[in-house]
Amino acid sequence: MKKVKEIYRTVSTKPTIVSRNVHIKEIVEMLLEDPITRSVYVVDDGRIVGIITVLHLLKVSGYRFFGIFPKPENVLKDLEVITAKTAEEIMMKPLWVTPETPISDALKIMIDNDVQELPVVDETGRIIGDLSSLEVLNALWRE
Amino acid sequence: MKKVKEIYRTVSTKPTIVSRNVHIKEIVEMLLEDPITRSVYVVDDGRIVGIITVLHLLKVSGYRFFGIFPKPENVLKDLEVITAKTAEEIMMKPLWVTPETPISDALKIMIDNDVQELPVVDETGRIIGDLSSLEVLNALWRE
């Protein structure tokens, strides 16, 4: 089976990395500069400590600007996220793949976490790239 | 409050439209050609009949190629989707906004349905554009 290293540079080439204290406004700015991006990686001392997805940002924004709550079955899961006030609080637990991760494992992580883009880390935990859902779909359906 | 018509052309300009009988392989091809896209709109006789998101395609692909099931709490909701065999069966119920939809309503539709991009339709139901989640985030956080 194909591994992450064979596909992760075909669509998305540059991971979007921020530090813990960055403001949501800056994150939105970075997403607009590189609109292929759907996940931002929070890094501390060179290591990944969290992920912020566009779906998360939509929920935070809905609550902050309009008091919109997610649908009932998601409230428990989402409450912590939508009431967060700092960028660090918004992030989800870190997720990642390595160049040696089989595509099936990467896909399962995406499906289980509703994440469309994952950081690729080396053996020391440093982010060396990112894996887009489009790269996975391409590897599966077009080859 | 701002309406959809004021923001929907700022990031994503071209909706990705397919007919009912198009193969998943072709949909993946279209996504790769325009990698900003995260939703494909299924149209019949000029009217929207369904939406296919990248998250949906990941679930379909996980099941089809590796037998991966979504996490237990999502199985009932997702079962119909992941076992679908034709492109028409893969689509979710149609969702849309109009140019006059307030941004808060558009955001709520995105949050409630885990959708990052919605078709913009005119009063006759024809698709005239699409609204990207990045356009919504931009309108809320940067202005």
Q: Which ranges constitute the DSSP H helices of chain A? A: 24-33, 54-66, 75-82, 87-90, 103-113, 133-141
CB-based contact B36 A35, cutoff 8 Å: yes
> Which pTM value belongs to this model?
0.88
Tell me which range, A96-100, B30-34, B63-67, is most confidently predicted by mean pLDDT.
A96-100
User: In angstroms, how far is the first alpha carbon of chain B from the final one?
Assistant: 12
Phi and psi for A128 in degrees, rounded to 5? -115, 0
Whether residue A76 is predicted with pLDDT greater than 60 in this model: the reply is: no
CA-nearest residue of chain A to B36? A36
Count how many domains chain A has: 1
- In this structure, what CATH number is given to the domain that contains residue B57? 3.10.580.10
Q: pLDDT tens digit string along A107-139?
A: 999 998 889 999 999 998 899 999 999 999 999
Whether residue B15 is predicted with pLDDT greater than 80 in this model: the reply is: yes
Q: pLDDT tens digit string along B88-134?
A: 878 888 999 999 999 999 999 999 888 999 999 999 889 999 999 99
Whether residue A75 is predicted with pLDDT greater than 60 in this model: the reply is: no
CB contacts, 8 Å: B118 with chain A? none
Domain coverage including residue A23? 4-141
Which pLDDT score, from 0 to 100, does residue A73 have? 58
